Amino acid sequence: MESERTVREVVDLIIELGLVDLDTPTQHTLLMESLDEPLSYYGDTEQSAVLELLSEVGIRYTLDYKTFRGIDECTDDERREWYKAELQSIAACSRGMVAITNVRLVETDANWKLHFDCNGVTKSWRVYPGDKEEDFEATLVFATSLTTLSTGAVEQFCSVDAENEDVSGGAVFGDPEALNRLGAHFDITFES
C-alpha cells in the first residue's frame, strides 16, 4: 500500500514549479506548522487538499453564493466599495502582478457596468444594482470574468476543473503550464 503524500511533498512541488516562493513570514509560518502532516490535513480528497494548499500559499481566489449576499440592499457608494474590496481580494492572489484601481459604477442607457483599471487597462463587467438577484448575478459575473484579468506576463488566473470537486467559483493564479504540471499529479486541470 502506498503511503499518503505529506503537505511538505506538495508544497515542495508548488515551490519547485515556481508557483510561489515562501518569502512571506505569514505563509511560511502557516505552512511550517503542518509540513509533516499528511495531505489529508487540508482536505478529504487529494484534490480538495491541494486546492486548499493553493489558498494557504495565497494564489487561489474563491467565492461562493454568500460572497455578495445583501449587496442588493446597499447604496451605490456601498456597492462600489463592496465590488472594490472583492476585486482587491482577487488582486491579492496574484503575487503583486495584478493592480486594481479606479473602481467605479457607471450607468449607461439603464445598464450598469463595473469599470475598473487592471494594470492600467480599463475593464468593464456588467452588474445589476438593486436587482433582487444582484448577489447571484454578481457572483456569476465575477466567477466567469476573473480569468480575463491580464497581467501582460505568462502568469494569469486559471479556472479549475477537478472531477468530484465543487470549484465553480474561483481561480488559481500562476503559469498555466506549471499549474497543469502540478494538477497532473492530482487529476486537476487548470484552464486559462
pLDDT in tens, 39-65: 999 988 899 999 999 998 899 999 888
How far apart (Å, rounded) are the C-alpha atoms in residues 89 and 189? 23
Query: pTM (2 decimals)?
Result: 0.90
pLDDT at 27 (0 to 100): 54
How far apart (Å, rounded) are the C-alpha atoms in residues 114 and 85? 13
Question: Would the pLDDT of 119 be above 90?
Answer: yes
Going through 37-88 in order, the beta strands assigned E by DSSP cover 60-62
- Which uninterrupted H or E stretch holds 90? helix 76-91
pLDDT at 102 (0 to 100): 98
**DSSP states of 165-185 as a string?**
S---SEEEEE-HHHHHHHHHT
How far apart (Å, rounded) are the C-alpha atoms in residues 59 and 173? 5
% of the chain at pLDDT higher than 90: 67
Q: Where are the domains of the chain?
A: 7-58+154-191, 71-148
pLDDT at 1 (0 to 100): 45
Q: Please, what is the Cα angle at 158 between 154 and 162, to 5 degrees? A: 140
Band (pLDDT 50/70/90 cuts) for residue 151 is confident
Band (pLDDT 50/70/90 cuts) for residue 76 is very high
